[in-house]
A = this chain, B = another copy of it.
Amino acid sequence: MIRVGVVGTGMIGQDHIHRITNVLKGAQVTAVNDVDEQRARQACAKEHLDAEVYESGIDLIQAPDVDAVIVTSWGPTHEEFVLAAIEADKPVFCEKPLAVTAEGCKRIVEAELQKEKQYVQVGYMRRYDKGYKALKKLVDEGQVGEPLVVHCAHRAPSAPNFSEDMPLTDSFPHEIDTLRWLLDDEFVSAQVVLPRKTSHSSIQDPHIILLETEKGTRIDAEIFVNCQYGYDIHCEIIGEQGIANLPEPASVLMRKQAKRTNEILVDWKERFLEAYDKEIQEWIDSVQAGKVTGPSAWDGYKVALTVEACVEAKSSREIIAVHKQEIPSLYAASDKLLKE
């Protein structure tokens, strides 16, 4: 039974505590910490947890009865806690972003390289979604032939608290990670197109982001975080032989009032609920097996580099190169054992 310490007990932290306690196998939450200690205590009470509440996230990470760490604190603190976990030789699951700058991600990568071990999994849960997995399977089997173009859309009903660049820094990273994984390819450049703005928001919304990969595949992604109508994720891969689309979630077909209707989800948590469960279960299993199997620190770093190119592309209106980086051998062998 893996003893997990959770740093950060906001909404997503509480979700992970809940699923480890009530849904998943092989782990229990034995330690929690939050910048607001009261919230940490409430998170335990909600799940009837007999976990220790630490005043300091660093102390929690170093505690001898904590086997593995989940970092779900405020984004700017991720880097410090992840580095502490690596320092303490403990597997760590870090919600996105891995760090708020590519530079920060790079420090984490370097910490792992110095230890010559992987410790970090980043919370890109779409890789665990049944639909994305089915899509990747078809692409990997060559059923659409070589991918040439990908059309994506990432839509949410509203994002009242988003500042100007958050669609690029907070929403789009999901597509960035998923596309690298789906296509087994790296981005070389980014461009951002700014359509007419919706009147439902004061920030620029929607964006169209154009990415180019090393193999020449072109992606156009619409990110529209105030689309009103629902939480709706699309991914369509145009290959030499045919096209494959991410499945739409199953729903009841209604015939009523001169319309044939299926419901569209509105809440992102419902859309990827099973993917979150699967993600954390596989992380627990990987901790037990002593290896990192999910999105790595390197993946988190690559996402951050791409995000930074997008932000620069938006402000400059230019096509911006994504910094090319040679992948270290530690990450090249994806299933390398963590503890040998």
CB distance A250 to B206 under 8 Å?
A: no
CB distance B208 to A195 under 8 Å?
A: no
CB distance A224 to B244 under 8 Å?
A: no
CB distance B196 to A215 under 8 Å?
A: yes
Contacts of A215 in B (CB 8 A): 196
CB distance A240 to B208 under 8 Å?
A: no
A321 part of interface (Cβ distance < 8 Å): no
Across the interface, A252 reaches (CB within 8 A) one of B135, B224, B229, B265, namely B135
Cα(A266)–Cα(B261), bound, Å = 15
Given the known inter-chain contacts A195-B216, A196-B218, please indicate yes or no for A144 contacting B256, CB distance below 8 A: yes
Contacts of A238 in B (CB 8 A): 206, 222, 224, 227
Within 8 A of B (CB), among A181-231: 193-200, 206, 208, 210, 215-218, 220, 222, 224, 227-230
Q: Please give the count of copies of this chain that the complex contains.
A: 4
CB distance A252 to B148 under 8 Å?
A: no
CB distance A240 to B198 under 8 Å?
A: yes
Given the known inter-chain contacts A151-B222, A228-B240, please indicate yes or no for A250 contacting B252, CB distance below 8 A: no
* Distance (whole angstroms) from the CB of A295 to the closest CB of chain B: 22
Contacts of A200 in B (CB 8 A): 240
Cα(A131)–Cα(B217), bound, Å = 31
A262 part of interface (Cβ distance < 8 Å): yes
Contacts of A157 in B (CB 8 A): 258
CB distance B261 to A149 under 8 Å?
A: no
CB distance A146 to B264 under 8 Å?
A: no
CB distance A220 to B220 under 8 Å?
A: yes
Across the interface, A195 reaches (CB within 8 A) one of B148, B250, B257, namely B148
Closest B residue to A24 using CB positions: B25
CB distance A146 to B196 under 8 Å?
A: yes
Closest B residue to A232 using CB positions: B255
A327 part of interface (Cβ distance < 8 Å): no
Contacts of A66 in B (CB 8 A): none
Contacts of A250 in B (CB 8 A): 130-131, 247-250
A243 part of interface (Cβ distance < 8 Å): yes
* Distance (whole angstroms) from the CB of A108 to the closest CB of chain B: 32
Cα(A36)–Cα(B210), bound, Å = 48
* Distance (whole angstroms) from the CB of A18 to the closest CB of chain B: 12
Across the interface, A229 reaches (CB within 8 A) one of B149, B193, B242, namely B242
For the complex with contacts A148-B196, A149-B222, 6 further pairs of A-B residues with Cβ separation under 8 Å are A195-B217, A196-B215, A199-B240, A206-B238, A232-B255, A258-B266
| Interface CB pairs A-B, < 8 A, 24 | A22-B25, A25-B25, A130-B250, A131-B250, A134-B252, A135-B252, A146-B196, A149-B222, A195-B217, A195-B218, A196-B217, A197-B216, A200-B240, A222-B238, A229-B243, A229-B255, A229-B256, A230-B258, A232-B255, A242-B256, A244-B255, A245-B254, A249-B250, A259-B261
